[in-house]
Amino acid sequence: NAGVTQTPKFRILKIGQSMTLQCAQDMNHNYMYWYRQDPGMGLKLIYYSVGAGITDKGEVPNGYNVSRSTTEDFPLRLELAAPSQTSVYFCASSTLGDEQFFGPGTRLTVL
């Protein structure tokens, strides 16, 4: 099993550009999450999904969008990138009430 995979690993965007961060899991988990982690800080939940076709906002959803068309994939869309979105983004998956499995992260810089 590959677990949770994320692409790309690194990306530099210009202000106003858009991009999609990809996340996939092969553990058949219903729950998937997107977090951002700023330097020296804990993880903040951006969006989460409890199954294909169902998504909901977390603590910091502004400036982001998600979709969940399959159990395996949970892409995160950034529209009109801003410097405040410079961060490391982690995708995670789990079953209800159990541990979260995290991907390796995407380091995004917006200049």
Binding residues (CB under 8 A) for other proteins: these are 4, 33, 35, 40-45, 48, 58-59, 90, 92, 97-105
Closer residue to other proteins (CB): 48 or 74: 48
Closer residue to other proteins (CB): 8 or 16: 8
SS3 call for 97: coil
- Shortest approach of other proteins to residue 73 CB, angstroms? 18
- Shortest approach of other proteins to residue 15 CB, angstroms? 26
Closer residue to other proteins (CB): 22 or 101: 101
- Shortest approach of other proteins to residue 47 CB, angstroms? 10
- CA dist., res. 72 & res. 11, Å (int): 23
SS3 call for 98: coil
- CA dist., res. 98 & res. 80, Å (int): 35
Indicate the Cα dihedral angle 103, 92, 5, 71, nearest 10°: 170
Closer residue to other proteins (CB): 9 or 14: 9
- Shortest approach of other proteins to residue 89 CB, angstroms? 10
Q: Which residues on neighbouring strands pair with residue 89, listed in sequence order?
A: 36, 106
Peptide bond into 61 cis (omega under 30): no
